Chain A
Amino acid sequence: MHKNNRNGFDRFYDVNGWAFVSLALGLIVLFMLYPIASSLWLSLHSGKGLVVKFVGFGNIIRLFHDPVFHTALWNTFIFLIIQVPIMIFLALITATCLNSPDLKWRGFFRTAIFLPCVTSLVAYSILFKSMFAYDGIVNSFFHMVGIIDQPIPWLSDPFWSRVAIIAAITWRWTGYNMIFYLAAMQNIDKSIYEAAKLEGVTPRQCFFNITIPLLKPVILFTSVVSTIGTLQLFDEPMNITAGGPANSTLTLSMYIYNLSFKFVPNFGYAATVSYVIVIFAALLALVQFKFAKERS
């Protein structure tokens, strides 16, 4: 009798629980799971606009023979491999500086460095485009201080346009990552540093042997988030260089856009390329977790 009652209550509890989450669950199925399944199905098709046919793995085979896809993949990895470490390192340095108790105007610097990441992606991209123009402010400044004689063709040279994009995204996202580190640093027990100081450990050793190991979970988190962000890089190359010159700043996301909206629309193949981003994001996150685990 007692047991039955208990079951009845569980049942009542379960049904109500499910009723409460059903709305959210329904929305997740409708707006998350259905599009994912639908895009997977779409990626097995190819054709022009609405005139499509089932090609099975045809799109995946096409990936291996598509030179533009290879270029886009390569560019995305260049951005990833060069930009993410630079940004993480810069963010760590600035966070350490801002965490120093001797620093005056700390609130001001913190805000100033964080501020770029509240600007709109398109707005700052257009600003950077004009700054890096052939007769823009960057060239004028370098010329004025005497670093260069000839203006640098920032946006019309394959090498320099990558530098410009990397500079732009580093400016935009360093402050964002810095805030995570700053928050984590403030949670590190001060006594650890005091003990180290007594033992005669130099500040540099403190940074590499105490701060960085203790920040590891946060560094892992920011590098995974930055990796995914860089894999999806779109706004900056679209607005600053339009993927050029010579496709040198064409990213995977831009290629997806071109396949859908600029070229003869092949939504199936575009969906296949978007799954490449998903797979790489998952793989890279896995590698980073593994790496972090082994080290500890």
Chain B
Amino acid sequence: MSNKRTFNMLAVTLGMTLSVLPAISHAADKQLTVWAWDPNFNISIMEKAKEIYAKDHPDVKIKVEDFAKPDLEQKMHTVLASGMTDSLPDIVLIEDYNAQKFLTSYPDAFSPMDGVVDYKEFSPYKTQLMTVNGHTYGMPFDSGVTGLYYRRDIIAAAGIKPEELNNITWDRFIELGKQVKAKTGKAMLSDDPSDPNMVRILMQSAGTWYFKPDGSLNIKDNAALKEALRLQKAMVDAGITTPSVGWSGRVSAANKGDVATVTNGVWFIPSIKAAADQAGKWGVAPTPRLNIAGGSNYSNSGGSSWYVLSASPNSKQAIDFLNSTFSKDVGFYQRILTENGAVGTFLKARTGAAYQTPDSFFGGQKIYSDFATWLAKVPEVSYGQYTYEADAVIAALLPSLYQGTPIDDVVTQIDQQLASQIQP
């Protein structure tokens, strides 16, 4: 009995080992693997690009694999650091804030595409963030141009006209928020002290970042950062925020109708549309601005791009695939705009008809035409390599800011902590 069981176990183990073997050996020569996150957005868009490419290249098999974003990043770091290039994909999606980090931490791991891709066809900020030592890596993809999404019905109940939200300052936004709170009892926006997304949006709208273009810290004399922190506290003090935790908290605050507005990137549209019962109730206005020199009503949050691994035996094919879809095909951009709400950074795409389509979910507003207009005006900043370190430091200090620590003290602490975090 016991012997038989041992034999069975051995047989099963052997069988499993054998069945894994074919998966390890390379099946087809022209197989491209793509790693990305978000099935409704990046994955779905990549599948569409694959369909287009398959028409002219039936011999190339493309496999798109879906991961959670943190998992994908962890996998990339582990594999790149170990040097086991066999387990790397051919193409990977990297968030713009992370681009410089990956490109400088793993030199030679990614294939430069200058000489193949015509980077003049893309928004300049996008190519700048993927350039290291004069080489440009990566295929610019989506934009995170921001807007002020608002609930038409809630602001109407508070006696505010949609036009009153156009090109306002954040101080005016707070005043309107108080009005909304008083008349409807709803919060104006959700606040997550562990996510400094808002601080980043406010900072970039005035054309500055945590770092100067040369990579040095830009904290102490950063008027936009100070103003952003002041406003962040002012919003909480005015009682117009509702607490939310994490990404799901922010989405559910919007979907449950707890908030009158959301300020976020254009890629937030699918999340808003997830609440089908709110169709027709939303609108988008330009992002409010900082009342300081250089303040603008345009900003950016997130966005990502495709990169080809140089260890890939098919890297040329991979570059050709990206180049013939993402940097040539205007029709493709029209399709992903209408079907996925993706605003690309490919300049020619904006001339297409899809950008002029009114969106009934947003009360018939031509939202993509608006976003495309704002995108052209977003101030350019250099994200550097340490945006996540800076985010962690700001998130650690926001609660003490809320509890009344003076802004200048908070800024000094940010400066000191960040300086100690980013030493090589």
B residues 104-146 touching A (CB-CB < 8 Å): 104-107, 109
Shortest B94–chain A CB gap in Å is 13
Instruction: Given A242-B246, A244-B395, decide whether A265 and B105 contact each other with a Cβ distance below 8 A.
Output: yes
Say yes or no for A273: interface residue by CB 8 A criterion.
Answer: no
Distance in angstroms between the alpha carbons of A67 and B249 in the assembled complex: 29
Distance in angstroms between the alpha carbons of A245 and B423 in the assembled complex: 24
Distance in angstroms between the alpha carbons of A266 and B81 in the assembled complex: 10
Interface string of B240-252 (1 = CB under 8 A from A): 0001111001000
- Cβ-defined partner of B421 (8 Å) among A46, A157, A245, A263: A263
Q: Is the CB of B400 within 8 A of A68?
A: no
Say yes or no for B194: interface residue by CB 8 A criterion.
Answer: yes
Most buried by A among B102, B396, B417: B396
Of chain B, the residue at the smallest CB distance from A153 is B243
Say yes or no for A62: interface residue by CB 8 A criterion.
Answer: yes
Most buried by A among B105, B249, B389: B105
**Would you call the interface of chain B mostly helix, strand, loop, or mixed?**
helix
Q: Is the CB of B194 within 8 A of A245?
A: yes
Interface string of B367-396 (1 = CB under 8 A from A): 000000000000000000110110010011
- A contact residues around B81 at 8 Å (CB): 49-50, 265, 267
Q: Is the CB of A47 within 8 A of B424?
A: yes
Say yes or no for B70: interface residue by CB 8 A criterion.
Answer: yes
Say yes or no for A260: interface residue by CB 8 A criterion.
Answer: yes
Shortest A228–chain B CB gap in Å is 24
Q: Is the CB of A245 within 8 A of B106?
A: no
- Cβ-defined partner of B245 (8 Å) among A68, A71, A155: A155
Q: Is the CB of B105 within 8 A of A244?
A: no
Distance in angstroms between the alpha carbons of A213 and B192 in the assembled complex: 49
Distance in angstroms between the alpha carbons of A247 and B396 in the assembled complex: 5
- B contact residues around A258 at 8 Å (CB): 392
Q: Is the CB of A67 within 8 A of B420?
A: yes
Interface string of B410-424 (1 = CB under 8 A from A): 000000110011111
Distance in angstroms between the alpha carbons of A133 and B101 in the assembled complex: 34
Say yes or no for B193: interface residue by CB 8 A criterion.
Answer: yes
Distance in angstroms between the alpha carbons of A231 and B244 in the assembled complex: 29
Distance in angstroms between the alpha carbons of A246 and B405 in the assembled complex: 14
Q: Is the CB of A261 within 8 A of B70?
A: yes
Q: How many residue pairs at the A-B interface have CB separations less than 8 Å?
A: 100
Distance in angstroms between the alpha carbons of A264 and B384 in the assembled complex: 11
Q: Is the CB of A246 within 8 A of B398?
A: yes
Shortest B206–chain A CB gap in Å is 26
**Would you call the interface of chain A mostly helix, strand, loop, or mixed?**
loop
Binds A, one of B72-80, B159-167, B174-182: B72-80
Distance in angstroms between the alpha carbons of A230 and B207 in the assembled complex: 44
Q: Is the CB of A246 within 8 A of B392?
A: no
Distance in angstroms between the alpha carbons of A66 and B393 in the assembled complex: 12
- A contact residues around B424 at 8 Å (CB): 46-48, 266
Say yes or no for B168: interface residue by CB 8 A criterion.
Answer: no
Say yes or no for A65: interface residue by CB 8 A criterion.
Answer: yes
Say yes or no for B399: interface residue by CB 8 A criterion.
Answer: yes
Q: Is the CB of B245 within 8 A of A51?
A: no
- Cβ-defined partner of A261 (8 Å) among B74, B106, B392: B74
Q: Is the CB of B397 within 8 A of A246?
A: yes
- B contact residues around A266 at 8 Å (CB): 424
Question: Chain A: how many interface residues by the 8 Å CB criterion?
Answer: 34
Q: Is the CB of B105 within 8 A of A49?
A: yes
Most buried by A among B77, B245, B392, B416: B245
Q: Is the CB of B243 within 8 A of A134?
A: yes
Distance in angstroms between the alpha carbons of A66 and B417 in the assembled complex: 8
- A contact residues around B389 at 8 Å (CB): 263-264
- A contact residues around B244 at 8 Å (CB): 134
Say yes or no for A2: interface residue by CB 8 A criterion.
Answer: no
- A contact residues around B243 at 8 Å (CB): 134, 153, 156
Interface string of A87-121 (1 = CB under 8 A from B): 00000000000000000000000000000000000
Shortest B253–chain A CB gap in Å is 10
Q: Is the CB of B386 within 8 A of A263?
A: yes
Q: Is the CB of B420 within 8 A of A49?
A: no
Of chain B, the residue at the smallest CB distance from A66 is B420
Distance in angstroms between the alpha carbons of A47 and B385 in the assembled complex: 13
Q: Is the CB of A246 within 8 A of B399?
A: yes
- B contact residues around A267 at 8 Å (CB): 81
- B contact residues around A290 at 8 Å (CB): none
- B contact residues around A68 at 8 Å (CB): 392, 396, 417, 420-421
Q: Is the CB of A158 within 8 A of B392?
A: no
Of chain B, the residue at the smallest CB distance from A69 is B420
- Cβ-defined partner of B107 (8 Å) among A51, A133, A242: A51
Of chain B, the residue at the smallest CB distance from A65 is B420
Distance in angstroms between the alpha carbons of A158 and B398 in the assembled complex: 11
Could you show 26 A-B contacts with beta carbons less than 8 Å apart? A47-B424, A48-B105, A49-B102, A49-B104, A50-B80, A50-B106, A50-B107, A50-B109, A65-B420, A66-B420, A68-B396, A134-B244, A157-B399, A242-B194, A244-B395, A244-B396, A245-B193, A245-B395, A245-B399, A247-B396, A260-B77, A262-B70, A262-B388, A263-B388, A264-B101, A267-B81
12 more contacts with CB within 8 A, not counting A246-B397, A261-B70, are: A48-B104, A49-B105, A50-B106, A50-B107, A244-B395, A247-B392, A263-B386, A264-B385, A264-B386, A264-B388, A265-B101, A267-B81
B residues within 8 Å of A by Cβ?
70, 73-74, 77, 80-81, 101-102, 104-107, 109, 192-194, 243-246, 249, 385-386, 388-389, 392, 395-400, 416-417, 420-424
- A-B complex: 5 closest residue pairs judged by Cβ atoms: A49-B105, A244-B194, A246-B399, A48-B105, A247-B396
